[in-house]
Amino acid sequence: MLNYFIDAIIPCFILLVLVIAIREKKDVFRLFIDGVMEGLKIVYTIFPYILAITIAIGLLRSTGAINVILLPIRQLLNKFNIPSEILPLCLLRPLSGGASMSVAMDIFKTCGPDSIAGKMASIIMSANETTLYTVTVFLGAVKIKKVRGILIAGLIADFVATVTAIILVNIGMI
């Protein structure tokens, strides 16, 4: 019964919109086309930002620059019982959801989902936002250039979420 209700929500919503539009004598097709055109304008505006971030992340991953950047940090983190496998995830999560998801899947395959690294990766993936991507796309779409405060707040929130994940897993709460 519940599945039937869930499957019927979208068709009922569409029917409700059509009934209201007909009752108010609106040109539904024209309104639909206008909405599509507005959506395409937004896509046209934000596409260069999405493309730039995608290319930058692809270059970082394919050249191995992430491993070079993280090499000096690995030994320090081993002293605090932080697995080195999560370092690329911590670096990529604020940049890209897709790249960080592939790193998390690699952690799950190599270490296991119930390992310390797997648990930390799970929490980091769910608690952190793709901050740089989000700020770039959304603020680029509305042409806001001064993003320093928003960016700093988002990166601090990501850092706190990552540190909290590490602490919770290391003390055995998760």
Token digits for 50?
A: 């999405």
Domain boundaries, the chain: 46-170
> Which residue has 């999405």 as its token pair?
50
Check if the beta carbon of residue 125 is closer than 8 Å to that of residue 165.
no
Least confident of 16-20, 92-96, 113-117, 137-141: 137-141
Q: Which helix (H) or strand (E) holds 6?
A: helix 2-23
* pLDDT given at position 134: 82
pLDDT, tens only, 55-67: 877 787 788 887 7
Mean pLDDT of the chain: 85
> Which residue has 């970082």 as its token pair?
60
Q: Hey, what amino acid is at 52?
A: A
131 closest CA partner among 77, 90, 164: 90
Q: Is the pLDDT of residue 156 over 90?
A: yes
pLDDT, tens only, 77-116: 878 888 888 888 888 888 878 778 888 998 999 999 999 9
Check if the beta carbon of residue 92 is closer than 8 Å to that of residue 99.
yes
Half-sphere exposure of 140 (CA within 13 A, CB side): 19
Percent of the chain with pLDDT over 90: 23
